[in-house]
Structure 1
Amino acid sequence: MDAVVATTSGPVRGTIEDGLTVFRGIAYAQPPVGPLRWAAPEPPVPWTEPRPAVSFGPAAPQPRPDGIVGDIFSPAFPSGEDCLSLNVWTPDPQATGLPVFVWIHGGAFLFGSGADDLIDHGSFARSGIVFVSINYRLGMDGYLYVEGDENAGNYGTLDQIAALRWVRANIAAFGGDPERVTIGGESAGGTAVAALLAAPAARGLFVRAIAQSAYPEPLLSPDSGRIVARELESRLGVPAGDLAALREVREWHPRDVTTVVRELFEDVANRDATHYGAEIAAQMNPLMPIVGGEVLPSRPVEAGAAGELADVDLLIGTNRDEFRIVFALGMMSVDDATIDAVFEATFPGRGAEALATYAAGRPGSSRLDLLAALETDRSYRVGSTLLADAHARHRPGSTWFYRFAWPSTAFDGQIGAAHAVELPFVFDALGTPMAEALTGPGAPQPLADDIHRAWVAFITTGDPNHDGLPTWPAYDHAKRRVMELGSGHRVVAAPDADELALWIGDEEGR
């Protein structure tokens, strides 16, 4: 069976699958090619006859990560520049007023797509929510700093805003309420959510936000954007600032561009930080949103401190062992001397004290585990905490913080509650191939029931509480109460406070 829905660009024909109505590969903008490369997205050219919306659109052009990371996260279908499409799962296109959840995929702003096993499972639509996943420009296409362009370094962010405008204009035709839109994402997707909270052009397009394992600090400055742009131009043999020449290379040598971008990411991870600057070294990511222009006037945490974030409800959190997956996969090799050096470089003059603080809070941990805890805090927890502090100060009673703590059995149990392990639980998609790669076999369904229900409750009401959890208090910057989600859910006040104080002080934000 199929179903036809009218959109502002033209009618689309989806399919009815297991009681859900699904539309895949709907264009929300024109392909960003020719003069639209490194430019704001333009609305689709209208059509009149129903277009089939039965297959996912191409993923954004991207390199494939090596090994199991690529096996888990890379899309299993073609990529291409005609990538500005979205997908909709709805319980009933004839309904009215259903809550809406727009998912922004992660992948370091370099890889990924709005389609994978977890997403296509359809669990949010089965829970009464109109679910939308989007593709957006990645890597050099999405985040190149173009000198003199007011949108420089934020073409991917503008794509996300264009998709949200499409949702506002069209989602009622799929049963959704344009006044009840929640945005969410994990990793780079969670960071994109943080950026959208601070983006003036995104105001009024959503009323709630979910940021999972985000890294909202530091994002990048125009100076960092210039360093990366000059590096890419040099590697591609293009004169500095020559956008016409760069577009020509992108047109005729797309594989060269993908190769150069991949090499740049690898180089940033392995070279002396002084070559690219402290901002890029802090995240080991040279292509991500740029702060300081029209799209993102200020960093999310700075905007929050000034009371300038979007006036929305916020669910935010991190995983207890985010960074352990990096070491379990052999993506970074370190010895004891390197660990000592990293602690000292992070806390000059206090490296040994900081290492002792982490060790005291984690008895029996290896030194490598202590480094993983440090990098978890640096990359995810500190920025998310500062953003939650700022949001809670200016919008009390509407901030909710979680820590995911269930230890995966995948990778011989070496990764703990690592980065992305919460995703199969959020999407209630245990048993899918992607889920088992992250959780190992036999992950507890009751935990997925509880976490998925919390997300559904928040999307529906702005409050994640339900009868399967202990009472989850709203987060405030004085007590920093966090819901720890694991085999035994519990509320923890200021978890690992001594470690956090190394980064932001005992009284920061309080």
Structure 2
Amino acid sequence: MIMRLIFIFAQYPECEVLARTESGWVCGAKRQSASGSDYASFRGVPYAKQPLGELRFQELQPADPWDGAFNASIEGPSCPFHDIFYSTLQQSQSVAEDCIRVNVHVPYKSLPDPKAEVLTSGGLPIVVFIHGGGWICGSGDSDFNGPEYLVEKGVIVVTFNYRLDVFGFLTLNTAKVPGNNGLRDMLTLLRWVRANARSFGGDPDEVTLGGQSAGSASAHLLSLSPASAGLFKRLWLMSGTAIPSFYTTSPAYSQQVTTVYLTLLGINSTDYDAVHDQLVQMPLEVLNNASGVLLAQLGVTSFVPVVETQIPGVTPILEDDPETLIAKGNGNNITLVVGFTSDECEANRPRLTEINAVALYQANPLAGLNPHLVFTLPANVTAEMAKRVGERYFSDSVVTMDKFIKLCTETYFAYPAIKLARARRANGGAPVYLYKYGYEAEYSVFKIARNLTYTGAGHAEDMNRVFKVNSLPLPNSASDSKMTERMSDLVANFAINNVPSFGSHAWRPVESQLKYNHVTDPDNHQFTRLENSDEDMVDFFDTLAKL
């Protein structure tokens, strides 16, 4: 062992930081946090065998071991994607199917000496974060998910890639293409974190799982699954829940999307093993082009998580409708923070304009409902729901993008977050914290990158105060910096102490009377009853659900 260590250090004298994973040594780089403190950064590390060839649609296998030290100073490829959200904010090194990579960022002084024995107890809390992007785009890279704010707070930060789009969520209901592979990738990553945490100075029993948008919905879905037991202790959800809102877990939807997709590829066989054999032989570009055509027809999502059927030899991740699992108490033992922003869909205005969402709604008012309702309820019920939605949001029969964005914000994000918090509180169990983020940044990433103008906080703007957007340097702002300090403190202290707090101020959990932590500026995190507009919105959707 000693000779092996000497060989490693002699072979890589330029290596600034070293750690040993189950697959081999990784050579990272020393970097600086937002305040200038050092941290050890290991980027682009394979956390499983790459899903190439026959493995393209299967559950991940353990990574092959490597000799020497893996170069973890740069990020690996992003998974194949269709960018509907990030634009210039996502700046991938490359795009390829060998994208199953993890980034681990450790406060420098807490990284264990690689010459010493691996820790057997203690260690820093770990924050594992799942990127958003509608299961269509995004990555764990530091262009949009920089660790510089959070890593200086005494936690280890882990971001990663998972299979997207057709590669991550196509299902044929067979052992070869079981579906939900993106979720399976996330579980594989969490198991990797548990197995390798000590080597990076982390505590495998103190993992906080977080996510934003589709990443947030994914994190919540995992918490409802027995397959994730023991892999994390707490959840921080930003603008997304397992409650289907901007997507549907309906098998009927999944089957419909699969049929259309295979037709686009010219595949009409009903022998799904034969279909699999064709799919794994097709070039990446062919599969990607066809899924791009499908996405153009559907708008903002296509292949998404689905309720699974029992397949011999395959452990299901999502066994039932998420709301049924919530009602049964799944995940009640996990402390939960769930939040939404005041003006979510403003940041999505460019995509909504691109697909002409107003015209789509005018042509079919069912487009004003969340898709899960359309695929799970009778047509006469959804027709009545659509009628009432139209009366509420377009009372003068004039449909504008501004009005549609309000509907989008409340239907897809605000109501599901409040509904989840209320359900969890009613079920008992671990505390649940609810927040509404309404701070209007002086320099908003999305306003600058996309030349947008709106008031309030759009989608992902709370996340941008926890993870740094390195692809777009922003001007200095005392107020924005203070909000960054507050939000990153809240997440770090939640991971450390199980309570979101900054300074002497701690957020309060949901009580019998529904309240939320309303964030309007760095110093105003008021625990208060819902605003009248939010109470009215909740009453409306509660009534709608009773039709």
- What band does the TM-score fall into relative to the shorter chain? 0.7 to 0.9
- Given that 1:30 and 1:44 are in contact with CA atoms closer than 8 Å, whether structure 2 keeps it comes out as yes
TM-score by length of structure 1 reads 0.86
Deviation at 1:134, TM superposition (A): 1.1
Matched, 1:53 2:76: no
Q: How does 1:259-274 map to 2 (within 5 A)?
A: 259-269=289-299
Aligned position for 1:70: 87
Aligned position for 1:381: 414
Q: How does 1:271-420 map to 2 (within 5 A)?
A: 284-293=300-309, 294-309=316-331, 311-327=333-349, 330-333=353-356, 334=358, 338=362, 341=365, 347-351=385-389, 353-355=391-393, 368-396=401-429, 398-408=431-441, 410=447, 411-414=451-454, 416-420=456-460
Relative to structure 1, the CA distance from residue 396 to residue 474 in structure 2 (aligned partners, 3 Å threshold; closer, same or farther) is: farther
| Secondary structure of residue in 1 paired with 2:76 | coil
Give a deviation string over 1:298-319, Cα, whole Å, max 9, x none.
Answer: 2333211111226211111111
> What letter is aligned with 1:317?
G
Aligned position for 2:196: 170
Relative to structure 1, the CA distance from residue 46 to residue 337 in structure 2 (aligned partners, 3 Å threshold; closer, same or farther) is: closer
- Given that 2:86 and 2:138 are in contact with CA atoms closer than 8 Å, whether structure 1 keeps it comes out as no
Structure 2 distance, partners of 1:482, 1:57, is 39
Structure 1 distance, partners of 2:529, 2:263, is 50
Structure 1 distance, partners of 2:298, 2:452, is 29
Give a deviation string over 1:123-171, Cα, whole Å, max 9, x none.
Answer: 2221111111111111000000113339722111111000000000111
- Given that 2:150 and 2:466 are in contact with CA atoms closer than 8 Å, whether structure 1 keeps it comes out as no
| Secondary structure of residue in 2 paired with 1:315 | strand
Relative to structure 1, the CA distance from residue 97 to residue 221 in structure 2 (aligned partners, 3 Å threshold; closer, same or farther) is: same
- Given that 1:104 and 1:114 are in contact with CA atoms closer than 8 Å, whether structure 2 keeps it comes out as yes
Q: Out of 98-107 and 142-151, give the one that drifted further.
A: 142-151
| Secondary structure of residue in 2 paired with 1:413 | coil
Matched, 1:474 2:509: yes
- Given that 2:217 and 2:241 are in contact with CA atoms closer than 8 Å, whether structure 1 keeps it comes out as yes
Matched, 1:425 2:465: yes
Aligned position for 1:79: 95
- Given that 1:318 and 1:380 are in contact with CA atoms closer than 8 Å, whether structure 2 keeps it comes out as yes
- Given that 2:394 and 2:403 are in contact with CA atoms closer than 8 Å, whether structure 1 keeps it comes out as no
Structure 1 distance, partners of 2:96, 2:390, is 49
Relative to structure 1, the CA distance from residue 309 to residue 337 in structure 2 (aligned partners, 3 Å threshold; closer, same or farther) is: closer
Q: Which of 129, 144, 150 is equivalent to 1:103?
A: 129
Q: Which of 495, 503, 508 is equivalent to 2:541?
A: 503
Relative to structure 1, the CA distance from residue 305 to residue 53 in structure 2 (aligned partners, 3 Å threshold; closer, same or farther) is: same
Structure 2 distance, partners of 1:120, 1:297, is 34
Q: How does 1:152-171 map to 2 (within 5 A)?
A: 152-171=178-197
Matched, 1:3 2:17: yes
Relative to structure 1, the CA distance from residue 57 to residue 251 in structure 2 (aligned partners, 3 Å threshold; closer, same or farther) is: farther
- Given that 1:195 and 1:300 are in contact with CA atoms closer than 8 Å, whether structure 2 keeps it comes out as yes
| Secondary structure of residue in 2 paired with 1:101 | strand
Aligned position for 1:13: 27
> What letter is aligned with 2:159?
S
> What letter is aligned with 1:446?
K
Unaligned runs of 5+ in 1: 270-283, 360-365
Unaligned runs of 5+ in 2: 1-14, 33-37, 113-118, 310-315, 370-382
Q: Percentage identity across aligned positions?
A: 25
Tell me the number of residue pairs that the alignment of Structure 1 and Structure 2 aligns.
Answer: 480
> What letter is aligned with 2:168?
G
> What letter is aligned with 1:465?
S
Matched, 1:451 2:487: yes
Structure 2 distance, partners of 1:506, 1:483, is 26
Aligned position for 1:229: 258
Give a deviation string over 1:380-412, Cα, whole Å, max 9, x none.
Answer: 122222322232233455111111102355234
| Secondary structure of residue in 2 paired with 1:485 | strand
Structure 1 distance, partners of 2:151, 2:235, is 18
RMSD: 3.1
- Given that 2:361 and 2:368 are in contact with CA atoms closer than 8 Å, whether structure 1 keeps it comes out as no
- Given that 1:450 and 1:468 are in contact with CA atoms closer than 8 Å, whether structure 2 keeps it comes out as no
| Secondary structure of residue in 1 paired with 2:354 | coil
Q: Out of 242-251 and 219-228, give the one that drifted further.
A: 242-251
Matched, 1:205 2:231: yes
TM-score by length of structure 2 reads 0.80
- Given that 2:18 and 2:26 are in contact with CA atoms closer than 8 Å, whether structure 1 keeps it comes out as yes
> What letter is aligned with 1:35?
E
Structure 2 distance, partners of 1:449, 1:15, is 25
- Given that 2:344 and 2:457 are in contact with CA atoms closer than 8 Å, whether structure 1 keeps it comes out as yes
- Given that 1:199 and 1:295 are in contact with CA atoms closer than 8 Å, whether structure 2 keeps it comes out as yes
| Secondary structure of residue in 2 paired with 1:5 | strand
> What letter is aligned with 2:64?
V
- Given that 2:415 and 2:538 are in contact with CA atoms closer than 8 Å, whether structure 1 keeps it comes out as yes
Deviation at 1:122, TM superposition (A): 2.5
Relative to structure 1, the CA distance from residue 137 to residue 506 in structure 2 (aligned partners, 3 Å threshold; closer, same or farther) is: closer
Aligned position for 1:279: none
Q: Which of 462, 486, 500 is equivalent to 2:520?
A: 486
Relative to structure 1, the CA distance from residue 76 to residue 90 in structure 2 (aligned partners, 3 Å threshold; closer, same or farther) is: same
